[in-house]
Amino acid sequence: MNVTFGDRDEMSPSVTGITPLPAAQSTSDEFLLNVGPQHPATHGVLRVVVTMDGEVVKDIVPHIGYVHRGLEKLFENRTYEQIIPFTDRTDYLSAIANNFAYVMGVERLLGLEVPKKVEYMRVLMAELNRIASHLLWLAAYGLDMGAFTPFLYAFRDREEIGAMIEEASGGRLTTNYFRVGGFVHELPKEFFPRLRKFIARFGKAVNELDTLLVENAIFVARTRGVGVIGRERAVSYGMTGPCLRASNAAFDVRRDMPYSIYPSLDFEIPVGRNGDTWDRSWVRIEEMRQSLAILRQAMDGFPEGDHRTRAPRNIEPPAGEVYSAVEGPRGEIGFYIVSDGTRKPYRVKMRKPSFSNFSALPEILRGNKIADLVAVMGSLDLVVPEIDR
């Protein structure tokens, strides 16, 4: 499908998804702007066709599918253990959250209980992953806005997290660390001293990043009141995560569909007021602070025990179905697993937050200026492989 940049007559509706107005009605100021699939500001390979009237966006049609790898079909031909590395790669920035959701689902199908220590390890890893993902979001967002310096400050801390996770699992990004019943290896001896030092330093680092980017007057001017979506519309579009919480809807999977040890941990859910871009940014900064609190509690209450429980060597859950969800950095990550009693699942459906968040883009952006496109897309924190699977 070879599409070039051109006037509306050259781009047929089947390609752009936009039905052209009859010639008499179309105003001469409208033109189509094609953003992507290769563009520095789209976070991944996606394409957005914008109908603009001067600087104002009249309509916007997203096109996805450039990274569709047919993972759900693939999973029907893999054993339950073989699927775990694939879950890393659906959303490589929240690999651990994906692992978590999938492994939890399989354990529920098997009726397997994991030891307390495994739960604590899982929460530690998940929250570190959340901080790392939000740091990368902040870095990339600053870059989109033209602020280069927060990128390097955020990555300084992200490197530290990556090093810690690598010591524990062997991988910095796609970790493949979780297993049904626990973990591959025990946490290394140096993990906790390193984590302690990180926690001691990170509180200040978040404040630094906050002052440098999110509280900066130019950033506020560019994001306050921009890209607003109301609570009812956000819920109807299935938005989850910081994008939903910014619209004054207090929904967090850790609170509302509790799992693991989260019910026993004390943390707050930051909720924004206006549903604009600035609120989405603020929620993420606050979440980093809350994750820090969770890390501290998990580290202080860390129990003794085994890092893996006895699980069957060949995982063959009884026929049934399960839906297990976690709160990933971008929203609710869910795995709907249908088992037919064999070693390979009958169907695995992945519920990904960016899929629903992105579908709300036309609603959010209609009527805004084209200069806000970058700001809004960055604030949705999209990861395209997760949208396409």
Partner 1 sequence: MRSAEEIRDALRGRFPGIETRPVDPALSVTVQPDALREHLVFLRDELAFDFLVFMTALDRPADGAVELVYRLFSRESRTSVVVRVRLPRDGARVPTVSDIYRTAEWHERETAELFGVEFAGHPDPRRLLLPDDLEGYPLRKDFMHPNLVRLPEVT
Partner 2 sequence: MGRFLYDLFYNSDLVLNGWSAAAHQSWAARGWPPVILDGLLQLAWAVAAAVFLALNALFIIWFERKVAARMQIRRGPNRVGPWGILQTLADTGKLLIKEDIIPDAADKAVFRAAPLLVLASTFMLFVVLPFGKGLVAADLNVGLVYFLAISGLSVIGILAGGWASNNKYSLMGGMRSAAQIVSYEVPAVLTVLSVALLAGSLRLGDIVRAQPSYGYILLQPVGFLLFLIASNAEINRGPFDLPEADSELVSGFLTEYSAMRFAIFFLAEYTNLFLAGAFASTLFLGGWRGPLLPPVVWFLLKSYFVVFLLIWIRWTFPRLRVDHLMELSWKVLLPLALANLLVTAVLVKVL
Which option in partner 2, partner 1, none does residue 192 bind, with CB closer than 5 to 8 A by kind?
none
Which value, in Å, is the radius of gyration of the alpha carbons in the chain? 22
8 Å CB contact between 19 and 50: no
Q: Which two tokens stand for residue 266?
A: 């004390």
Which option in partner 2, partner 1, none does residue 216 bind, with CB closer than 5 to 8 A by kind?
partner 2
8 Å CB contact between 113 and 287: no
CB nearer to partner 1: give 81 or 208. 81
Looking at residue 213, what DSSP letter applies?
I
Q: Which of 63, 61, 144 is nearest to 366 (CA)?
A: 61
CB nearer to partner 2: give 53 or 268. 53
- Site residues (vs partner 2, CB under 8 A): 5, 31, 33, 39-41, 55, 142-149, 151-153, 156, 212-213, 216, 218-219, 221-222, 369, 371-372, 374
Backbone phi and psi for residue 373, each to the nearest 5 degrees, phi listed first? -55, -50
CB nearer to partner 1: give 139 or 249. 249
CB nearer to partner 2: give 102 or 137. 137
Q: DSSP alpha helices (H): ranges in 17-171?
A: 71-75, 80-90, 95-110, 116-145, 149-169
Provide CB contacts within 8 A for 163, sequence distance 6+.
172, 194
CB nearer to partner 1: give 64 or 139. 64
Tally Cβ neighbours within 10 Å of residue 384. 21
Which option in partner 1, partner 2, none does residue 146 bind, with CB closer than 5 to 8 A by kind?
partner 2
Which option in partner 2, partner 1, none does residue 33 bind, with CB closer than 5 to 8 A by kind?
partner 2
Which option in partner 1, partner 2, none does residue 49 bind, with CB closer than 5 to 8 A by kind?
none
Angle at 253 between CA 163 and CA 270, to 5 degrees: 75
- The minimum distance between CB 245 and partner 2, in angstroms, equals 24
CB nearer to partner 1: give 27 or 77. 77
CA torsion 234→236→239→242, rounded to 10°? 40
Which option in partner 2, partner 1, none does residue 323 bind, with CB closer than 5 to 8 A by kind?
partner 1
- Site residues (vs partner 1, CB under 8 A): 1, 14, 17, 64-65, 68, 70, 72-73, 77-79, 108, 232-233, 235-238, 249, 251, 256-257, 321-323, 325, 332, 334, 336, 338, 343, 346-347, 349, 351, 355-356, 359-360, 363, 388-389
